[in-house]
Structure 1
Amino acid sequence: MLFKVEMTVNIPSSLPSAEVEAIKAKEKAYSQRLQREGKWPHIWRVVGQYANVSIFDVADNQELHDILTALPLYPWMEISVQPLCMHPSSIHHEQK
């Protein structure tokens, strides 16, 4: 199943910078592993914001939930999820 996920990160300024950097390093490693596995095929930064728009390709809602809640930055994220399906005018015939 394909999902569009929008994530905005709001790390509190009171969090020590060393802790923030460690969390960001874990986040990067985790997200890159998911990208290599094909579960997170697209990620785009939103210009001027600490935010991204991503496409996830996972088995079901539960797998997406498990992935998102395991993100190291999850406690400081606002997340919006929208399921996707093939558009009837698409020239691509592959149905996910």
Structure 2
Amino acid sequence: MDFLVRIDGSRVYELPVEERNAIVEKEHTHAHELHAAGVLKYIWRQPGQRANVGIWSAADADALEAVLAGLPIRPYAEIEVSALATHPLTLEFAAAQA
């Protein structure tokens, strides 16, 4: 199941520089692990904000919640999640490319 996830991590920038840098580095490494595992499919930065949006994949909402709870930045982040369903045009576009 795919989800649109928006993460605003701006509160981490209120921390002392060394603590913030350590969390951001852990988050960066963890993101690579999530991508390799097929959980974090795509991610985009939102210009002018300390936020990002991405397409995440998990078996269900509970599985996604477990992943999000494990993010190093989680204590300092506001997270919004929207479940996604396949649009019929997506299937048509895929068929046209095949």
Partner of 2:84: 84
User: Letter of the aligned partner of 2:87 in structure 1?
Assistant: H
Return the offset for 1:10.
Answer: 2.4
Structure-1-length-normalised TM-score: 0.89
1:67 paired with 2:67, answer: yes
Against the structure 1 CA distance between its residues 16 and 36, is the aligned structure 2 distance closer, same or farther, given a 3 Å change threshold? same
Structure-2-length-normalised TM-score: 0.87
Against the structure 1 CA distance between its residues 39 and 75, is the aligned structure 2 distance closer, same or farther, given a 3 Å change threshold? same
Return the offset for 1:89.
Answer: 1.9
Q: How does 1:17-28 map to 2 (within 5 A)?
A: 17-28=17-28
1:54 paired with 2:54, answer: yes
Structure whose residues are more often helix by fraction: 2
Against the structure 1 CA distance between its residues 56 and 12, is the aligned structure 2 distance closer, same or farther, given a 3 Å change threshold? closer
Return the offset for 1:63.
Answer: 1.1
**Residues 29-85 of structure 1: CA distance to partner in whole angstroms, max 9, x if unpaired?**
111100011110101000111000010111111110011111111111111100001
Rounded Cα–Cα distance in structure 1 between residues aligned with 2:19 and 2:80: 26
Tell me the percent identity.
Answer: 37
Partner of 1:43: 43
Rounded Cα–Cα distance in structure 1 between residues aligned with 2:85 and 2:12: 36
- Which consecutive residues of structure 2, in runs of 5 or more, have no partner in the other structure? none
Number of residues paired by the alignment? 93
Against the structure 1 CA distance between its residues 81 and 13, is the aligned structure 2 distance closer, same or farther, given a 3 Å change threshold? closer
Rounded Cα–Cα distance in structure 2 between residues aligned with 1:73 and 1:29: 12
